[in-house]
A = this chain, B = another copy of it.
Amino acid sequence: MKTSFESDYNNGAHPEVICHLLETNGKQSQSYGFDEWSEQARQKIRTACQCPDADIFFLVGGTQANATVIDGMLLSYEGVIAVQTGHINVHESGAVEASGHKVITLPSHGGKMAADDLEAWLKAFHADPTLEHMVIPGMVYITFPTELGSVYSAKEIEAILAVCRRYELKLFIDGARLGYGLASSECDFDLPWLAQHCDVFYIGGTKVGALCGEAVVFPRRNAPRHFMNIVKRHGALLAKSRLAGVQFDALFTNGLYFSIAKHAIDKAMQMRQIFADAGIPLRDSSTNQQFVELTDAQMKHILEDVLFETWEPLDDHRTLCRFVTSWATTDRDLKALKEALKAFR
């Protein structure tokens, strides 16, 4: 079987997660979010975030989390501001528009939003005499880390948050790969800091060791009223909520969530070295997603032994390709990659 770096969701759950599902399986529990493991997991996440009052909801996946949070926090006529490359603008099949909200786009700087762009746009918006004919912005959406593997600095997030406060916009951080961002060597803040610098965020489980599940966190008991109904209305409420609760209980026991992320980052950095050694151009990324420029010949050769995703064509002969690590990446996987690259050194 070929080694795969295609994604961080083509393996099963981390062993400790799957074992916890097994060991708790025999017990009866309440449903719809009221099971004991969900409650336990919520407590552990509150502790990890240093947010004793946080409202926490476990949703099944990322699209749901994005669509539900955005719809839940916006008024019907409000839109959400994101960068062009933002997941909600590109890869959610219109789930945000499905509940009536426009995604307003700003330029992407390597996947990141610039506070200056945001402020400039808002200034122009409020100066526009036709404001009554436009979509009112209600929220700013950023991803941490971004879809391109980049991470915001504390200063950059502070700047965005300051603009949000000035213009009364909510700040939502999509943390589908949150662990990998926090584990990046470039990241100059921690989870509690992040929780203090936004209105809502989620802790991605699916891509960080769980089978499914995202923990939506409203850090200051600031969940919208009737948020459970909003979740249900979006089809995002599990009858057997234990499924998500048990997994997050495992992920937030003994720092598993963070050690999974650290492992993946370590492997990603080793992978960078392997590519560099082979003379293959790499984009900057300190997280678990690595983007390299491959010629057609290189792609063909590597694919004989190692799987990865093509990201976008660069020109007629070269393609940007994505290699992703996860909890499941082993030294053997990296060795297979090294082997496959031998020819190019």
- Interface centre among A30, A62, A95, by most B CB within 10 Å? A95
Residues of B within 8 A of A24 (CB): 12
**Which residue of chain B has its CB nearest to the CB of A12?**
B25
Which residues on the B side are within 8 Å of A140 (C-beta)?
none
Interface residues of A in 194-246 (CB under 8 A from B): 206-207, 211-212, 226, 228-230, 232-240, 242-243
Q: Contact residue range for chain A?
A: 35 or more
Query: Which one of A85-93, A255-263, A276-284, A285-293 is at the interface?
Result: A85-93
Contact B97 A97 (CB under 8 A): yes
**A35 to B170, alpha carbons, bound, how many Å?**
35
Say whether, besides A12-B26, A61-B239, A240-B211, A233 and B21 are in contact (CB < 8 Å): no
Stretch at the interface among A98-106, A182-190, A336-344: A98-106
* A132 x B32 contact (CB < 8 A): yes
Instruction: Write the nearest CB–CB distance from A86 to chain B, whole angstroms.
Output: 13
CA distance A236 to B62 in the complex (A): 10
Residues of B within 8 A of A27 (CB): 12
Q: Find chain B residues with CB under 8 A from A212 CB.
A: 60, 212, 238-240, 243
How often does this chain occur in the complex, in copies? Answer: 4
Whether the Cβ atoms of B9 and A239 lie closer than 8 Å is yes
Q: What's the Cα separation between A130 and B90 when bound, in Å?
A: 10
Other-chain contact of A242, B4, B12, B61, B101 (Cβ < 8 Å) = B12
Cβ–Cβ contact B61 & A233, under 8 A: no
Checking B7, B67, B131, B242 against A235 with a beta-carbon cut-off of 8 angstroms, the contacting residue is B67
If A12-B27, A207-B239 touch, whether A102 touches B97 (CB-CB below 8 Å) is yes
Q: Indicate with 1 or 0, residue by residue over A15-51, a CB within 8 angstroms of chain B CB atoms.
A: 1001001101111111110000000000000000000
20 contacts between A and B (CB under 8 A): A9-B240, A10-B30, A10-B31, A12-B25, A12-B242, A21-B21, A60-B238, A61-B235, A63-B232, A63-B237, A79-B94, A92-B233, A93-B134, A93-B233, A94-B135, A95-B234, A97-B101, A100-B100, A127-B313, A133-B232
- Interface positions of A (Cβ within 8 A of B): 1, 4, 7, 9-13, 15, 18, 21-22, 24-32, 60-64, 67-68, 71-72, 75-77, 79, 90-95, 97-103, 105, 127, 129-136, 206-207, 211-212, 226, 228-230, 232-240, 242-243, 309-310, 313, 328
